[in-house]
Amino acid sequence: MDIDKIINRVISYNPSADIELIKKAYQVANLAHHDQKRLSGEPYIIHPLETASILTEFKMDVVTIAAALLHDVVEDTTITSSNIKEQFGEEISLLVEGVSKIAWVQQHSKHENKAENLRKMLIATAKDIRVILIKLADRLHNMRTLSSLSVDAQKQMALETLEIYTPLAHRLGLGKIKWELEDLSFSYLHADVYHEISKMVASKREEREAYAERVREILTEEFNKANIAADILSRPKHFYSIYQKMTSRHKSFDEIYDLTGIRIITDKQVDCYNALGIVHDKWQSMPGRVKDYISTPRSNMYQSVHTTVIGPDGKPMEVQIRTREMDIIAEEGIAAHWHYKEKTRFDEKHDSKFAWLKRVIEWQQELTDPKDFMEGLKQDLFSDEVFLFTPKGEIKILPKGATPIDYAYSIHTNVGDHCFGARMGGRMVPLDYKLESGDIIEIITSIKAHPTQSWIRIVRTPKARSRIRNWLKAHEEEQQKELPQKDTRPKPQEHSSPKPKKVSISKVIISGINDIAFNLAKCCGPIPGDKIAGYVTKGGVTIHRIDCRNIMNSNNGQSRIVDAVWGEDKTGTYEAGIMVRAFNRENLLKDMLSLINTTHTTINEAWAKVVENGIAKCSFIVLIRDKEHLTEIIHLLERIKGVIDVYRGRT
């Protein structure tokens, strides 16, 4: 790579670019590195040139390209940050300085050094996201030329790349960089397995391409009939991804590789759903495998509709559908928003989309233990997220597996320190409850409540863990006073306080309630197999599913909730509601009714209506024996052509 090729690339996507700035940066870098060589023996200037070249693939602005050319001069030559600022201005100076602060952290480094360097990297990134884009391009070129290092150094750098830089690229939505970093790291960490998989992929390439071409021809014909403009591509399989699936699913290469990947790129978002309908009409969809990341994008801005169908010859086929703009975001992530035409700062434009980054920085700055820092960082980079709602409708984003205590500390330290309980959808949930996307959480506080040692084992976020430890340390003496003392008082007589009884009322056992009638709630339709709770009313006890959002409908509702479980007598039938969303077509309701009848199930009610965009909403009230019977019906309905999803409904 030479500077002329880089300049030509920049001109190709930005004809009005300040080319003189790039030339000047190259001249300074070339002079500064003129007597330096890489371990391969080639001139050192090749490295910043290749780093800049990688960034031109993402159409980065001239400031980023210039900073990439200069990114090693402060660290490796006599040029200072002040020199850079004087010659190129503050913006380029800050980028170069940010990259320079990120030292090469080797696997055998002490935790203190490694934690401090990564801390610098995150802080520098928060100031300008382009710092990490340059660093990732720098790391990618180093991985491409890793063969010059010793075997031990190769493995150390490959492992660090896989642990830190690959998930960071994923978090920033840089698919192209992530996949290449993964495969390069894999080739050094497991060379034998890598070469074996690459041989097997090569041997199946023709067969795979022929199958993809068959699918392409079928879909092209159907899309033309529906006036859908789309590109249909065979999705490439990455070696490390194949290896991960083989090891995690305990499957052979043939089982993993036979799963064909197809990508459909449309012009309009509405055609993504139209294309999904055609795919489902053409081939049987697999239950539970439809994921809509268009309406609910991932935290790295990724958007697509995913589905898995049984394709030609009965082979499973994964299909991704997205627009052209979504495809660019999937490949380039945050870099797509830093194309030459973009002038908006990261903290203004991307605050909501990359809230996780600022959250990580905030948490990590509070962690004093380097081991905690490293564990927390890896946890944050790898974890998925859940999107939660406050009672006022505000969104909170936490790592998957977070609990109400994590949520409380995300609001404020005082809320976390005095967290007494949590209410979700009108019912109390335990403090170790794993939060899920869509949960509406209300934290109940009390002046008397405070953190305990057990909270550390429950929480998921570094921030909560750090705050809990800080509180326990600050109140250590008080905690000792609160330890239970030996009770020397005489014990009460056994008859003085009778224990609550569990009384069986027909088919339900209600704790602490004697001889009270009960009925099953219509709102959630509990059936044997569901976890249940009782709600005390004037007319008796109403039995709800414990996840029913209506179980509490008054301010003193919590005091009315009593424990309940199913008794041994589960004979008889129970009403259950089933809701189905599907792409509307001729005989849709008839097919559903026929399928339910094959299970010898009584149908008390059935209706269907088209709600929007050709999607039909169907409702059934059926008489079933237990949860297994209901699950069987749901699974059968999921297999009907055109069905999007099936779920429990009201009775």
DSSP string, 420-466: EEEEETTEEE-TT----TT-BEEEEE-TT----HHHHHH--SHHHHH
Between 2 and 7, the more confident residue is 7
Coil vs helix vs strand at 78: coil
Q: What is the model's pLDDT at position 616?
A: 87
Distances (CA, A) of 419 to 411, 445, 558, 616: 11, 5, 17, 44
Q: Which residue from 547, 530, 529 is spatially nearest to 428, judged by alpha carbons?
A: 547
Distances (CA, A) of 35 to 24, 41, 104, 146: 19, 12, 21, 21
- How many Å apart are CA 229 and CA 214, to the nearest integer? 18
The structure tokens listed for 293 are 């990341």
Q: Which of 76, 222, 366, 591 is catalytic?
A: 76
- How many Å apart are CA 105 and CA 159, to the nearest integer? 11
The answer, yes or no, to whether residue 606 has pLDDT greater than 70, is yes
Domain boundaries of the chain, sorted by first residue: 3-189, 200-334, 355-478, 502-566, 574-649
The structure tokens listed for 605 are 């009610």
pLDDT single digits (tens) 126-162: 567 788 889 999 999 999 999 989 998 899 899 888 8
Considering the four listed CATH numbers 3.30.70.100, 3.40.1280.10, 3.30.460.10, 3.40.50.2020, the one that applies to the domain covering 200-334 is 3.30.460.10
- Long-range contacts at 364-370 (CB < 8 A, ≥ 24 apart): 364/119, 364/122, 364/462, 365/119, 365/123, 366/462, 366/463, 366/466, 366/467, 367/462, 367/466, 370/110, 370/111, 370/112, 370/114, 370/115, 370/116
The structure tokens listed for 497 are 């306080």
- Give the model's confidence band at 187: pLDDT under 50 very low, under 70 low, under 90 confident, else very high: very high
The separation between the first and the last C-alpha atoms of the chain, rounded to the nearest angstrom, is 68
Mean pLDDT of the chain: 79
Pairing of strands 316-323, 260-266: parallel
Residue type, 200: M
Q: What is the model's pLDDT at position 381?
A: 53
- Cα–Cα–Cα angle for 315, 318, 319, nearest 5°? 125
The question of whether 138 is a catalytic residue gets the answer: no
pLDDT single digits (tens) 428-456: 777 888 888 778 888 988 887 888 888 88
The answer, yes or no, to whether residue 346 has pLDDT greater than 60, is no
By the 8 A CB rule, do 137 and 51 touch?
A: yes
- How many Å apart are CA 116 and CA 119, to the nearest integer? 5
By the 8 A CB rule, do 125 and 99 touch?
A: no
The structure tokens listed for 592 are 């559903």
Q: What is the model's pLDDT at position 501?
A: 32
Distances (CA, A) of 614 to 82, 244, 270, 292, 541: 63, 39, 11, 17, 42
The answer, yes or no, to whether residue 43 has pLDDT greater than 80, is yes
- How many Å apart are CA 115 and CA 370, to the nearest integer? 6
- How many Å apart are CA 443 and CA 445, to the nearest integer? 6
- Give the model's confidence band at 375: pLDDT under 50 very low, under 70 low, under 90 confident, else very high: low
Q: What is the model's pLDDT at position 12?
A: 93
Say which range, 176-180, 203-207, 215-219, 386-390, has the weakest mean pLDDT.
386-390
Q: What is the model's pLDDT at position 201?
A: 83
pTM exceeds 0.85 for this model: no
Question: What residues does 605 pair with on adjacent strands?
Answer: 621
The structure tokens listed for 646 are 């099936």
By the 8 A CB rule, do 610 and 640 touch?
A: no
Q: What is the model's pLDDT at position 475?
A: 81
- Long-range contacts at 194-202 (CB < 8 A, ≥ 24 apart): 194/239, 194/243, 197/239, 197/242, 197/243, 197/253, 198/239, 200/253, 200/257, 201/237, 201/239, 201/242, 201/257
- Give the model's confidence band at 267: pLDDT under 50 very low, under 70 low, under 90 confident, else very high: very high
The count of residues in the chain is: 651
Q: Which fold has domain 355-478?
A: Ubiquitin-like (UB roll) (3.10.20)
What DSSP assignment string belongs to 508-568?
Answer: EEEET--S--EEE-TTT---BTB-EEEEEETTEEEEEETT-TTS--STTGGGGEEEEEE-S
Edge-to-edge order in the sheet of strand 502-505: 502-505, 508-511, 561-566, 532-537, 540-545, 518-520
The structure tokens listed for 641 are 């052509």
- Cα–Cα–Cα angle for 574, 576, 578, nearest 5°? 160
Q: What percent of the chain has pLDDT over 90?
A: 30
- Give the model's confidence band at 283: pLDDT under 50 very low, under 70 low, under 90 confident, else very high: very high
The question of whether 76 is a catalytic residue gets the answer: yes
Compute CA 161 distance to the chain's CA centroid, rounded to the nearest angstrom: 20
- Give the model's confidence band at 342: pLDDT under 50 very low, under 70 low, under 90 confident, else very high: very low
By the 8 A CB rule, do 293 and 387 touch?
A: no
Quickly tell me which residue has 């795979």 as its tokens.
Answer: 208
By the 8 A CB rule, do 295 and 615 touch?
A: no
Coil vs helix vs strand at 69: helix
- Give the model's confidence band at 488: pLDDT under 50 very low, under 70 low, under 90 confident, else very high: very low
pLDDT single digits (tens) 523-557: 888 888 888 888 776 556 788 888 787 775 544 45
Q: What is the model's pLDDT at position 495?
A: 39
Between 127 and 293, the more confident residue is 293
The answer, yes or no, to whether residue 371 has pLDDT greater than 60, is no
- Give the model's confidence band at 521: pLDDT under 50 very low, under 70 low, under 90 confident, else very high: confident
Q: Which residue from 380, 412, 443, 233 is spatially nearest to 321, judged by alpha carbons?
A: 233
Stretch 602-613: mean pLDDT: 85
pLDDT single digits (tens) 297-334: 876 778 999 998 988 988 888 999 999 999 988 888 77
Element holding 131 (H helix, E strand): helix 130-144
The answer, yes or no, to whether residue 363 has pLDDT greater than 70, is no
Do the domains 200-334 and 3-189 match in fold? no
Q: What is the model's pLDDT at position 67?
A: 95
pLDDT single digits (tens) 230-251: 999 987 778 888 888 777 777 7
Residue type, 537: T
Question: Any idea which architecture 574-649 has in CATH?
Answer: 2-Layer Sandwich (3.30)
The structure tokens listed for 96 are 């170069």
Q: Rounded to a whole number, what is the largest CA-CA distance in the chain? A: 94
Q: Which of 57, 75, 196, 563 is catalytic?
A: 75
- Cα–Cα–Cα angle for 255, 259, 261, nearest 5°? 155
Q: Which residue from 129, 29, 7, 12 is spatially nearest to 73, judged by alpha carbons?
A: 29
Between 391 and 36, the more confident residue is 36
Q: Which residue from 429, 463, 462, 460 is spatially nearest to 443, judged by alpha carbons?
A: 429
By the 8 A CB rule, do 157 and 362 touch?
A: no
Q: What is the model's pLDDT at position 580?
A: 92
- How many Å apart are CA 529 and CA 19, to the nearest integer? 70
Please provide the CATH number assigned to the domain covering 3-189: 1.10.3210.10
Residue type, 512: G
pLDDT single digits (tens) 100-116: 766 444 333 444 455 55
